[in-house]
């Protein structure tokens, strides 16, 4: 295993914190390097990076859609990265990350072989945040015990109680309500480094797009606007009016099926992936602002002639569409894989991206020969991880302020390498 960060040091109470293991043994050393950066600032600055940020459990602790309290989320965050051994009747498909095969499982041991027990004390088993599950193991959260994961550290996960307290301390709410409460500090650190740092590329600027299935865009917009006005106590010099987010740039999305063709189930899914059109409407007055992928891209790429351009947007995505298609990735939140000569590169960061072909929140769209767009299939979307998608194990950016920057830098490096290999400059 490769350690992303060794956290087995005591917290303020003197209790040890678990290590966080981020890759399996078979990952390459280059992939494991958490300090990997772009090939060069000059190369990176030639691109327009569009960063799509999920809100709940990616940058904000508290899941409005799921009905979870802050405390519920603290427990779930740990349970999702606490791995257990598969039981004998669930030992098949060890490398398949097979969710369905583990949902009824009743685990008895952590992945390091120590037994599950409702007791504090002793060194906690390491947490695991890698893309591929370790052989013969799965997350506690993917077993029959998911139903009690909101009280994880009061039960089987009692050994992780010191980590719960550490998370609580890092995200402690102030006595007075504050716009920035419960937003993971790593997010603001990342924005400051990408936008305000002297080494930040600024031609073109980074574009920020908040993505959610909930109704939390107005509160996030208030926080982002205050941040861009220098009102965050840790970043008083961050004054960038083009990153203020007002109601006119808060949208809701709809997938609209243009027409329909017959065929079997597989053909029908392929047909739907090609025939759905993504549309955006203003939240404040319901007026349409973009119909179809190209108009959405024109909006996000700032290709208009406005003298006062902004580089931050908010989109409430189409949850009924995703639910109706039983959580298929292609029906979720879309980002765009554009032709090699495009200067625009889209990246979605989300905690609900999975290494599963039929369960995930991220859709990736690409242009077709007839200048339309279609969604990739589930397996194709899986292959976009590390290129257009970044799965966010929430514990990582909570414990490592640089984690978002490190992952974005890896994707930027991969994108630039791909462009170089095709001779695109």
pLDDT at 15: 78
pLDDT at 302: 85
Strand spans (E) along 187-287: 207-212, 250-257, 276-282
* Nearest of 314, 350, 344, 345 to residue 332 by alpha carbon: 350
Provide long-range contacts, Cβ within 8 A and 24+ apart, for 187-194: 187/53, 187/59, 187/397, 187/404, 188/227, 188/232, 188/234, 188/235, 189/401, 189/402, 189/404, 189/405, 190/404, 190/405, 190/408, 191/227, 191/238, 191/243, 192/235, 192/238, 193/405, 194/51, 194/405, 194/408
pLDDT at 340: 77
CA 345 – CA 50 distance, rounded (Å): 6
For 212, counting Cβ atoms within 10 Å of its Cβ (0-12 exposed, 13-18 middle, 19+ buried), the class is buried
CA 187 – CA 204 distance, rounded (Å): 21
pTM for this entry: 0.89
Query: Cβ distance 347 to 52 under 8 Å?
Result: yes
pLDDT at 408: 97
pLDDT at 33: 44
pLDDT at 242: 95
pLDDT at 420: 82
For 221, counting Cβ atoms within 10 Å of its Cβ (0-12 exposed, 13-18 middle, 19+ buried), the class is buried
Omega before 154 cis (within 30°)?
no
CA 3 – CA 399 distance, rounded (Å): 13
Beta partners for 75? none
Q: Is 21 helix (H, G, I), strand (E, B) or coil?
A: strand
* Nearest of 57, 75, 78, 58 to residue 66 by alpha carbon: 57
- How many Cβ atoms sit within 10 Å of the Cβ of residue 307? 5
* Nearest of 419, 352, 348 to residue 386 by alpha carbon: 348
- Each of the 425 residues of the chain gets a pLDDT tens digit; together they read 433 444 555 566 667 899 999 987 533 333 444 334 444 434 566 799 999 999 999 999 976 666 888 999 999 999 999 999 998 776 554 444 555 679 999 999 999 999 998 777 778 999 999 999 999 999 999 999 999 999 999 999 999 999 999 999 998 766 555 889 889 999 999 999 999 987 665 657 899 999 999 999 999 999 999 999 999 999 999 999 999 999 999 999 999 988 655 555 555 666 788 889 999 999 999 999 999 999 999 999 986 655 568 999 999 999 999 999 999 999 999 999 998 778 999 999 999 999 999 999 999 999 987 778 999 999 999 999 999 999 999 999 999 999 999 999 999 999 998 888 776 65
């Amino acid at each position: 295993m490769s350690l992303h960060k060794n956290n087995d040091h005591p917290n303020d109470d003197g209790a040890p914190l678990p290590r966080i293991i981020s890759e399996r043994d078979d990952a390459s050393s280059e992939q494991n390097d958490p300090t990997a950066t772009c090939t060069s600032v000059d190369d990176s600055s030639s691109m327009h990076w569009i960063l799509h940020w999920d809100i709940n459990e990616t940058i904000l602790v508290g899941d409005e859609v799921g009905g979870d309290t802050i405390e519920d989320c603290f427990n779930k965050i740990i349970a999702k990265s606490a791995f257990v051994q598969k039981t004998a009747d669930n030992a098949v498909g060890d490398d398949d990350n097979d969710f369905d095969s583990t949902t009824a499982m009743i685990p008895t041991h952590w992945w390091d072989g120590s037994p599950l027990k409702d007791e504090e004390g002793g060194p906690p088993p390491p947490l695991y945040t890698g893309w591929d599950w370790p052989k013969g193991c799965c997350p506690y959260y993917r077993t029959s015990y998911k139903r009690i994961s909101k009280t994880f550290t009061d039960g089987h996960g009692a050994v992780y109680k010191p980590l719960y307290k550490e998370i609580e301390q890092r995200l402690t709410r102030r006595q007075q309500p504050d716009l920035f409460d419960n937003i993971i500090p790593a997010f603001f650190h990342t924005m400051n480094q990408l936008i305000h740092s002297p080494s930040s590329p600024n031609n073109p600027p980074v574009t920020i797009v908040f993505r959610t299935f909930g109704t939390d865009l107005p509160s996030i917009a208030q926080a982002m606007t205050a941040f861009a006005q220098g009102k965050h106590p840790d970043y008083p010099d961050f004054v960038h009016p083009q990153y203020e987010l007002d109601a006119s740039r808060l949208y809701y999305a709809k997938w609209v099926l243009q027409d329909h063709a017959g065929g079997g189930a597989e053909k029908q899914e392929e047909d739907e992936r090609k025939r759905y059109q993504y549309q955006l409407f203003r939240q404040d007055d319901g007026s349409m602002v973009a119909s179809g992928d190209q108009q959405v891209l024109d909006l996000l790429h700032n290709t208009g002639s406005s003298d006062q351009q902004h580089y931050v947007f908010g989109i409430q995505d189409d949850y009924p569409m995703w639910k109706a298609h039983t959580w298929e990735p292609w029906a979720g939140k879309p980002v765009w894989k554009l032709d090699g000569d495009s200067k625009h590169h889209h990246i979605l960061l989300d905690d609900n991206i999975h290494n599963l072909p039929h369960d995930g929140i991220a859709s990736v769209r690409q242009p077709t020969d007839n200048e339309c767009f279609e969604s990739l299939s589930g397996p194709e979307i899986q292959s976009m991880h590390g290129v257009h998608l970044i799965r966010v194990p929430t514990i990582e950016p909570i414990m490592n302020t640089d984690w978002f920057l490190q992952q974005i830098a890896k994707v930027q490096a991969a994108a630039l390498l791909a462009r170089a290999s095709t001779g695109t400059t």
